[in-house]
């Protein structure tokens, strides 16, 4: 299969990659390959090959919300890093799905464009952030994305508008329809004072450093906050701060973060998440929803 992928000449192919090198938890086994298509046509060519041969695949952004297994992911991962064009026309940003979200947030802030301040600490790609409707500080991608270009399951490029994208708390149309692949987004921002925007970003960074365990590999908040409550509060009340399974620990700084202290396995992380979910259900009768995605 690796030879066939290389013969397609659609972009760089990495065989037998370790998923610990491609996820922010730094855990997981290997995959068959990662492919970096260089254009929409090459992406279509790759997908047709994979679908014709019934080969499993997944789009991989920065791996900041994914937990692979410890054994083989028996499929091909597709990274859209080459889909990184950026055009700024007054307050309208046209950006490729593979563009780094933090980089975009800082770049627009320096230009005096407001609206992406919330994203300055979210280590994902633009496409991944839209897929998850990533957010913070009472804002998310749904507030700023006006439209996206997607590749449909029939290999057509189509525009979906904000109203089509069904943005809700950490949810979107793309999550429910993973065969639609985000290629590019149009983001609408507002003019503001760049110094003030950068001050907001700096202040929030300082707060994150004080309240979040950024010194360890993690994938950010593990659970969505239930209505009118905080997942971290419930987990802390259970006495789970510092609780561990193997090398995976509930952070002492923030109970809704699970961290890898250096030798965690994917199973450690998954088992700790599942245990917390069960204990919260048992004690509070609340079904916590996992923000992160288990990839099998």
CA dihedral (135, 140, 146, 147) in degrees, to 10, reads 30
pLDDT at residue number 29:
97
Residue whose pair of structure tokens reads 């991608």 in the numeric block: 141
Between CA 252 and CA 256 the distance in angstroms is: 10
C-alpha Rg value of the chain to the nearest Å: 19
196, 260 in Cβ contact below 8 A? no
DSSP state of 213: -
Average pLDDT on 149-178 reads: 96
pLDDT at residue number 92:
98
pLDDT at residue number 102:
97
**What percentage of the chain carries pLDDT values higher than 90?**
99
CB atoms within 10 A of CB 9: 10
Specify whether 291 is catalytic: yes
Count CA atoms closer than 13 A to 173's CA, side-chain side: 15
From 139, 170, 194, 204, the catalytic residue: 170
Does a structural domain hold residue 206? no
Chain-wide mean pLDDT for the chain? Answer: 97
| Overall number of domains in the chain | 3
Specify whether 170 is catalytic: yes
pLDDT at residue number 95:
98
Between CA 235 and CA 144 the distance in angstroms is: 32
On the 0-12 / 13-18 / 19+ scale of CB atoms within 10 A, 171 is middle
- CATH number of the domain where residue 244 is located: 3.90.78.10
CB atoms within 10 A of CB 163: 8
The boundaries of the domain holding residue 7 are 2-78
Specify whether 204 is catalytic: no
Six token digits for residue 192 = 């503001």
Six token digits for residue 64 = 């900041």
pLDDT at residue number 43:
98
Shared-domain flag, residues 24 and 98 = no
pLDDT at residue number 226:
94
Task: Read off the pLDDT band of 234 (50, 70, 90).
Answer: very high
User: Which residues are within 8 A (CB) of 250 and not within 5 positions of it... i.e. 6 or more apart?
Assistant: 235, 240, 241, 242, 243, 244, 257, 258, 272, 276
pLDDT at residue number 232:
97
Between CA 8 and CA 41 the distance in angstroms is: 12
From 117, 147, 184, 291, the catalytic residue: 291
Average pLDDT on 209-215 reads: 94
Average pLDDT on 32-47 reads: 98
Between CA 221 and CA 212 the distance in angstroms is: 10
DSSP β-bridge partners for residue 113: 191
161, 146 in Cβ contact below 8 A? yes
- CATH number of the domain where residue 43 is located: 3.30.43.10
Shared-domain flag, residues 151 and 129 = yes
Does a structural domain hold residue 203? no
pLDDT digits (tens, 9 = 90+) for 75-109: 999 999 999 999 999 999 999 999 999 999 999 99
Shared-domain flag, residues 174 and 248 = no
Does a structural domain hold residue 202? no
Task: Read off the pLDDT band of 152 (50, 70, 90).
Answer: very high
> What element of type H or E holds 89?
strand 86-89
Average pLDDT on 170-182 reads: 95
> Which of 163, 196, 229 represents a domain boundary (last residue)?
196
Average pLDDT on 276-280 reads: 98
Shared-domain flag, residues 91 and 192 = yes
From 172, 221, 251, 265, the catalytic residue: 221
pLDDT at residue number 121:
94
């Amino acid at each position: 299969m690796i030879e066939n992928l290389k013969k397609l000449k659609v972009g760089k192919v990495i065989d037998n990659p370790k998923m610990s090198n491609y996820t922010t938890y730094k855990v997981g086994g290997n995959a068959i390959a990662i492919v970096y298509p260089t254009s929409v046509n090459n992406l279509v060519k790759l997908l047709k090959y994979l679908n014709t041969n019934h080969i499993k695949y997944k789009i991989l952004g920065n791996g900041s919300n994914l937990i692979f297994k410890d054994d083989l992911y028996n499929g091909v991962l597709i990274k859209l890093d080459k889909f990184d064009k950026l055009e700024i026309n007054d307050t309208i940003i046209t950006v490729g799905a593979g563009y780094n979200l933090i980089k975009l947030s800082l770049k627009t802030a320096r230009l005096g464009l407001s609206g992406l301040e919330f994203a300055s600490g979210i280590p994902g790609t633009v496409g991944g952030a839209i897929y998850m409707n990533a957010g913070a500080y009472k804002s998310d991608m749904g507030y700023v994305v006006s439209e996206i270009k997607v590749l449909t399951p029939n290999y057509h490029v189509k525009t979906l508008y904000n109203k089509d994208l069904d943005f809700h708390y950490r949810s979107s149309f793309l999550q429910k329809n993973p065969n639609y692949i985000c290629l590019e987004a149009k983001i609408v921002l507002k003019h503001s004072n760049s110094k003030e925007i950068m001050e907001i970003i700096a202040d929030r960074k300082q707060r994150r450093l004080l309240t979040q365990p950024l010194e360890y590999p993690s994938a950010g908040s593990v659970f969505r906050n239930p209505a009118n409550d905080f997942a971290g509060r419930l987990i802390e009340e259970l006495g789970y701060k510092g609780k561990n399974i193997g090398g995976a620990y509930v952070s002492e700084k923030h109970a809704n973060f699970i961290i890898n202290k250096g030798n965690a396995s994917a199973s450690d992380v998954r088992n700790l998440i599942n245990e917390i979910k069960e204990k919260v259900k048992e004690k509070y009768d609340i079904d916590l929803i996992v923000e992160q995605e288990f990839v099998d």
